[in-house]
């Protein structure tokens, strides 16, 4: 009897389900003088994201797990990536930043809870990421050295030389005549760093060897850039209803994007090439990497 063919849709739904169940438990629901903070954090965290970053962590873990380690080992780190992703969206949406009213079809955090609480909710989610990763758990936790290394990868990807640096560069260079190198700098950090880190974490927690880790680094870098190019394309060609946000915001804000700098045709070709190379990168991981391969294909076709 043959195994059923791999269905990405079923896979993504299943993963999203267990990730949401874990995220659901992170933020207290009890009455407390800080209850509004918990509410704001939960509102944005549970607003129905694709959960791509935690899914990548779990998929990379599965792809390099050679000794049957339990998936629970990777779960806190997967959840941490979603907390960091959500915090970055909350702060990016603020009036002083992108000043966006809608996110995933819902009012943004500051529209719903006010600016002060939105700032604090972002701060709380960023800190929560590190709280989860360093929590003492029974049974399934990875060795301390491994967890420390994973925490460092997250902090580097999220911080001044990663996402926060990329966000700054993006803002500082808005409306200027940007060079190819500057565009690469922004893309590599603004979204790329966090996506690459999500993939790396899986390998770190599975205690993958150097050859497998290198495959994940390459895959993570290429899919990260492809993801950003797809984002830029969707901002021009996407369907507003499916995306849950308005189109054309990059152009209005004079943001540097791949289609704007290199042209739409070039952007689409480059995105496709990156995804194909990413799939080649992980050939050496064999069948265990089937979900990772399917995710690379999904990234170039996604409509939101």
Residues ≥6 apart with Cβ < 8 Å to 209: none
- Neighbouring C-beta atoms of residue 250, cutoff 10 Å: 18
Interface with a copy of itself, residue 166, by CB under 8 A: yes
CA-based diameter of the chain, in Å? Answer: 60
Bridge-partner residues for 103, per DSSP?
A: 106
Residue 21, number of CB atoms within 10 A of its CB:
10
Token pair for residue 59?
């998929």
Q: For residues 85-104, which are near a copy of itself according to CB under 8 A?
A: 87, 91, 94, 96-97
Q: Does 155 bind a copy of itself (CB under 8 A)?
A: yes
Question: Positive or negative CA dihedral for 197, 199, 200, 206?
Answer: positive
Distance CA 218, CA 215 (A): 5
Rounded to whole angstroms, what are the CA distances from 272 to 187, 236, 268?
Answer: 16, 17, 6
- 7, 134, 249, 283: residue in contact with a copy of itself (rule CB under 8 A): 134
Phi, psi of 244 (to 5 degrees): 70, 20
Q: Select 11 or 130, whichever has its Cβ closest to a copy of itself.
A: 130
Closest approach, Cβ 90 to a copy of itself, in A, equals 10
Question: Which span sits near a copy of itself by CB under 8 A: 11-19, 180-188, 195-203, 271-279?
Answer: 180-188
Is 171 a binding residue for a copy of itself by CB under 8 A? The answer is yes
The count of chain residues that interact with a copy of itself, using the rule CB under 8 A, is 60
Task: Tell me: does residue 151 bind a copy of itself (CB under 8 A).
Answer: yes
Decide if residue 124 touches a copy of itself (CB under 8 A): yes
Helix (H, G, I), strand (E, B) or coil at 224: helix
Q: Which residues pair with 122 in a beta bridge?
A: none
In angstroms, the CA 99 to CA 233 distance is: 21
Which region, judged by CB under 8 A, interacts with a copy of itself, from 8-16, 118-126, 222-230, 235-243? 118-126
| Interface with a copy of itself, residue 122, by CB under 8 A | yes
Q: Among the candidate windows 119-127, 199-207, 221-229, 233-241, which touches a copy of itself by CB under 8 A?
A: 119-127
The correct pick among 47, 173, 225, 260 for binding a copy of itself (CB under 8 A) is 173
Rg of the Cα atoms in the chain: 19
The contacts of residue 298 (CB under 8 Å, 6+ apart) are 8, 12
- Tell which positions 9-68 bind a copy of itself, by CB under 8 A: 27-28, 32-34, 36-38, 41
Contact with a copy of itself (CB under 8 A) among 50, 106, 111, 182: 182
The binding site for a copy of itself (CB under 8 A) comprises 27-28, 32-34, 36-38, 41, 87, 91, 94, 96-97, 114-117, 119-120, 122-124, 126-128, 130-131, 133-136, 143-145, 147-149, 151-152, 154-156, 158-161, 164-169, 171-173, 182, 185-186, 189
């Amino acid at each position: 009897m043959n195994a059923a063919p791999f269905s990405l849709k079923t896979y993504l739904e299943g993963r999203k389900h267990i990730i949401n169940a874990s995220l659901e438990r992170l933020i207290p629901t009890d009455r407390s003088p800080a209850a509004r903070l918990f509410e704001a954090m939960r509102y944005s965290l549970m607003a129905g994201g694709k959960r791509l970053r935690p899914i990548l962590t779990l998929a990379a873990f599965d792809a390099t797990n050679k000794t049957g380690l339990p998936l629970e080992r990777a779960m806190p780190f997967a959840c941490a990536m979603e907390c960091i992703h959500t915090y970055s969206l909350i702060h990016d949406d603020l009036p002083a930043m992108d000043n966006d009213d809608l996110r995933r079809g819902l009012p943004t955090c500051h529209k719903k809870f006010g600016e002060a609480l939105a700032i604090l909710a972002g701060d709380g989610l960023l800190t929560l990421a590190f709280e989860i990763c360093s929590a003492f758990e029974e049974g399934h936790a990875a060795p301390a050295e491994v967890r420390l290394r994973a925490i460092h990868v997250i902090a580097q990807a999220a911080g001044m030389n990663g996402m926060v640096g990329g966000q700054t560069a993006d803002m500082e260079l808005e409306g200027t005549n940007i060079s190819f190198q500057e565009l690469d700098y922004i893309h590599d950090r603004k979204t790329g760093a966090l996506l690459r880190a999500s993939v790396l974490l899986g390998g770190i927690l599975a205690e993958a060897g150097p050859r497998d880790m290198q495959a994940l680094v390459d895959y993570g870098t290429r899919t990260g850039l492809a993801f950003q190019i797809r984002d830029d394309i969707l901002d021009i060609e996407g369907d507003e209803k499916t995306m849950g946000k308005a189109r054309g915001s990059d152009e209005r804000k004079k943001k540097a994007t791949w289609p704007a700098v290199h042209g739409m045709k070039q952007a689409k070709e480059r995105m496709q090439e990156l995804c194909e190379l990413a799939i080649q990168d992980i050939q050496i991981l064999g069948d265990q990497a089937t979900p990772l391969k399917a995710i690379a294909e999904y990234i170039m076709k996604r409509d939101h």
